[in-house]
Amino acid sequence: MFNAEKFIEKTIPNLQKDIQRKALIAFSGGVDSTVCAALVNKAIGDRLIAVHVNTGYMRKNEPEQVKQMMEDLSLNYRFVDASKEYYAALKGVEDPEKKRKIIGEKFIRIFEKVAREEKVDYLVQGTIAPDWIESGGGLRDTIKSHHNVGGLPKDMKLKLAEPLRDLYKDEVRKVARVLHLKVSERQPFPGPGLAIRIIGEPTPERTELVREACDIVEKEIERASEQGLMERPWQYFAVLIPIKTVGVHGDKRAYGNTIAIRAVQSVDAMTCHYSTIPHEVLDTISTKITNTMKEKVNRIVYDVTNKPPGTVEWE
């Protein structure tokens, strides 16, 4: 049985022993990186520098919220807006693994630059067990190169500290609760962000569509869960399928994209079952998405795939 207090007690002195000078952490605002940052901050204080990179593939208002979280945790932090750089690097890229590799590698290069400026020697990552198991770290095939594993360049100069690498998500949440972190119930969000929720090229225009759709799905599902209409899923979001279909707006022909709604129940993300969303909630989501993006999206579908054989994210 996992004991979060014991885990914290054991981890802090280990971090103090390993990290003699300064360390850098990629702070995404998700459960894993927030728990990691809080732990390492407890261990080495201001010698930890949290860096948030806005890749341009964050959710609506997320960069501002993340900044506030770093303030609230009293972290020593740097905020880097690299969205234009990311959009340029992903121009014309359609292959999911290529997207992941480019995003992961760019991340590390940005960190290396900050690391040189700040003279740090350690990179702290919030990698958890399913990340490296599914990236081929165990005896299994690579299913997808998870951002914090697959994107690491071979010539990386920083040493790695991954205090959560043997933990599963429910265990990370237990640690978050013991540390009184508000983030403990936040749904997971993948490192490559919305780029892997856009099938095909993740252009700035397509990103805006999926960002808006994800926001509507999140808000409506949270509202429905709070009203007791459904159980809150483990994860819930939208995927942009750039397949155009014919529709009608008023009395005019429309030819727009498709949005898929994805909501799953899981314990550790290794397997999942699709959530049953009441039809009235699906209906509200569908209407809101098509009304908000009238000319651009005119078809909404619901994904009823379990994992396996699917994965949680589409890419």
Binding site for ligand XMP (CB under 6 A): 131, 134, 144, 146-148, 188, 190-192, 235, 269, 307, 311-313
CA-based angle 241:244:245, to the nearest 5? Answer: 120
Measured from the CB atom, the residue of 44 and 183 that comes closer to ligand XMP is 183
Measured from the CB atom, the residue of 44 and 269 that comes closer to ligand XMP is 269
Q: Least distance to ligand XMP from the beta carbon of 119, Å?
A: 27
Q: Least distance to ligand XMP from the beta carbon of 147, Å?
A: 3
In the bound state, the residue with its beta carbon closest to ligand XMP is 147
Residue 154 exposed, middle or buried by CB count within 10 Å (0-12, 13-18, 19+): exposed
- Structural element, H or E, at residue 286: helix 279-292
Measured from the CB atom, the residue of 58 and 254 that comes closer to ligand XMP is 58
- The CA-to-CA distance between both ends of the chain, in Å, stands at 33
Q: Least distance to ligand XMP from the beta carbon of 102, Å?
A: 12
- Structural element, H or E, at residue 170: helix 169-178
Place of tokens 């303030």: 71
Q: Least distance to ligand XMP from the beta carbon of 123, Å?
A: 15
Q: Least distance to ligand XMP from the beta carbon of 138, Å?
A: 14
Measured from the CB atom, the residue of 42 and 186 that comes closer to ligand XMP is 186
- Cα–Cα nearest to 29, from 179, 181, 170, 131: 181
Q: What gap in Å lies between CA 170 and CA 148, rounded to an integer?
A: 19
Q: Can you read off the two tokens belonging to residue 129?
A: 């067990």
Measured from the CB atom, the residue of 147 and 174 that comes closer to ligand XMP is 147
